Amino acid sequence: MVRLRHVAVLVAACAAASLTALADEQKPAPAQPAYKPRLNNIMILTQLGHFKLWYAGAVANWPLAAYELEQIGASTRLAKRLFPNSAKSDMDTMKPAAEDLDKAIKAKDAAKFTSAYARLTAACNNCHETVGFGFIKIRVPRLSPIETSPFSDESFNGK
pLDDT digits (tens, 9 = 90+) for 76-104: 999 999 998 888 878 888 899 999 999 99
The DSSP symbol for 31 reads: P
- CA dist., res. 19 & res. 40, Å (int): 49
The DSSP symbol for 33 reads: P
Stronger pLDDT, 138 or 157, i.e. the higher one: 138
- CA dist., res. 42 & res. 92, Å (int): 16
- Going from the C-alpha of 155 to that of each of 27, 49, 59, 150, the distances in angstroms are 53, 22, 13, 8
Q: What per-residue confidence (pLDDT) applies to 116?
A: 97
Q: What per-residue confidence (pLDDT) applies to 60?
A: 95
Report the top-level CATH class of 39-130.
mainly alpha
Average pLDDT over residues 51-68: 95
Q: Are 120 and 138 in contact, with CB atoms under 8 Å apart?
A: no
Taken in order 87, 88, 94, 95, the sign of the CA dihedral is negative
Residue 18 has pLDDT above 70, yes or no: no
Least confident of 15-24, 28-37, 77-86: 15-24
Q: What is the CA radius of gyration of the chain?
A: 28
